[in-house]
Amino acid sequence: MRSHPDACPGAVELHAAADGGLARIRVPGGTLSAAQWDAVRLAAAELGNGSIELTSRANLQIRGLADGVELGERMRAAGLLPSWSHERIRNIVAAPLDDNQALVDALDAALCADPVLASLPGRFLVTVGASVSGLGGDIGLVGDVLLLAGTDTGVRVSDPVDAVVTAARLFQSLRGPAWRLSEVDDGVRKITAHFGTTDAPRLTPAVTPVAPSPLTPGVPLGRLDASQLPGAAFRLTPWRSLVVPAGTDVTGLITDPASPWHGVSACTGRPGCAKSLSDVRADVHAWVDAPAQTDASHHTHVPGRVPPISILGTRSDKPGAVHWSGCARRCGRPAGDVIEFVATGDGYEEIR
C-alpha cells in the first residue's frame, strides 16, 4: 500500500527534475487544435528547454521550467487548463481513430465539476474505446460496458458520463492512501455491487496500437522539437504517435512500419533524471544506428561508452516493442508485448 501522497506533476504543480521543473499538460482524448499546439510549442521554446515529450497517456510534458505560474496562465488561455483544482486528474485516454471526442469532453467536464473528485490521485485513469481498453484504466468505457480496474465485471450502463462520475466517487470514498483502483482491497467488487451486473458476454480488454503511416506518424522516442508541426492540429495517441490530417508535413516523424525506430521507446535518462544510471537516449540512438546483428547474444560497444550494450537480433526480427529504462523503476514502459533494456550500472539487463 502507498505510504505517501501521489505527486504526479501538472501544468502548474511541477516536478523538480534534474534538468529543471517538469510540467505535465493533460489533453483529455489527445485532441489538440492548431492554436493549442502552437501555445504549447511557444511555451516550450520560451519557458522550457525547447522540446515537448509525449506520454503513454497521450499527454504532453515540458522540461526545464523555472516555475509553473506562467505556463499555467498560458495553458488556461489556450483552453488546456479548464480547472485549476482538477487539472492533475484529467487523464482520459481515448481510442484515437474513433469518433469519441464529444464523449471525452463530456466526461472531462463532469469530472471537473465535482469538487469531491479534485483530490483524486494524478494517476487515476479513464479509458474510452476498445483499442485502449487494455491500458489498465481505473474506469473504462466500451459502448455500454463499464470496465473497472481494466476488467469487464458485467456492469452495463445507459448513461456513461454519470456512471464514470459515480464510479470515481465510489473509488474516492474507498481508496484511503491507494492511487489506483487495483490497489484497493475488494474495491472492484464493492463498486460492481453498487451498479449490479448482467449476464452479457464479458469483453476481453485489449490494446491495439496504430502502426505508423502518413496519417498516423510515430514520434521518435516520444519527443518533438518546439519548431515541429507549426500550425498543425492533431490527435495524440498513447503509443507516442499522432493522428494528423492529410497533407500535414510529417518531416522527422516515423511513417514507415519497417523503420528501426518503430516500437522503440525510452525513459528520460540522464541528464534529465537524477535516478538514471545512463544517458539512455544516447544509448538508444547508438543501438538503432548500429549494424544489425544475427546473433541475439552479440554485444557491441557504443563508441566512447562503456560498458557494452546488448543487441537483440536483427531489426526486423524484433518481437513487439523495445523499451529502454535508466533504472529499475522502468518509467514510461508501454503496455503490451515489450522487450526491455534496464540499466544496471554495468550495462543493460534484457527483460522479456
Give the CATH number for residue 69.
Answer: 3.90.480.10
Same domain, 57 and 136: no
Confidence band, pLDDT 50/70/90 cuts, at residue 332: confident
CA–CA gap between residue 225 and residue 238 (Å, rounded): 19
Residue 20 lies in a domain: yes
Residues 25, 27, 29, CA angle at the centre, nearest 5°? 160
Asked whether residue 310 carries a pLDDT value surpassing 60, the answer given is no
Q: What are the pLDDT digits (tens) for 213-246?
A: 999 999 999 999 999 999 999 999 999 999 999 9
Which residue in 203, 81, 100 sits closest to 161, CA to CA? 100
Domain ranges, residue 123: 83-208
Residue 213 lies in a domain: no
Cβ contacts of residue 83 below 8 Å, gap of 6+? 90, 112
**Beta-bridge partners for 93:** 127
Residue 135 lies in a domain: yes
- Output the pLDDT for position 140: 98
Element (H, E) at 73: helix 69-77
Residue 148 lies in a domain: yes
- Output the pLDDT for position 114: 97
Same domain, 244 and 151: no
Burial classification of residue 180, based on how many CB atoms lie within 10 Å of its CB (0-12 exposed, 13-18 middle, 19 or more buried)? buried
Between 94 and 1, whose confidence is greater?
94
pTM of the predicted structure, to 2 decimals: 0.90
**Beta-bridge partners for 224:** 52
Residue 62 lies in a domain: yes
Average pLDDT over residues 49-75: 95
Same domain, 91 and 56: no
Residue 331 lies in a domain: yes
Computed over every residue of the chain, the mean pLDDT equals: 90
Which residue in 51, 43, 49, 90 sits closest to 68, CA to CA? 43
Q: Sheet of 20-25: strands edge to edge?
A: 15-17, 20-25, 60-65, 51-54, 223-225
Residue 257 lies in a domain: no
Residue 26 lies in a domain: yes
Same domain, 103 and 121: yes
Count Cβ atoms below 10 Å from residue 154 Cβ, excluding itself.
Answer: 18
Same domain, 137 and 152: yes
Same domain, 147 and 176: yes
Average pLDDT over residues 145-171: 98
Same domain, 108 and 176: yes
Same domain, 113 and 190: yes
Between 67 and 197, whose confidence is greater?
197
* Number of domains the chain contains: 3
Same domain, 115 and 28: no
Average pLDDT over residues 14-37: 95
**Beta-bridge partners for 216:** none
Confidence band, pLDDT 50/70/90 cuts, at residue 1: low
Average pLDDT over residues 320-347: 88
**Beta-bridge partners for 179:** none
Same domain, 73 and 36: yes
Lowest average pLDDT, out of 34-48, 300-314, 325-339, goes to: 300-314
Same domain, 64 and 138: no
CA–CA gap between residue 345 and residue 343 (Å, rounded): 6
Same domain, 276 and 345: yes
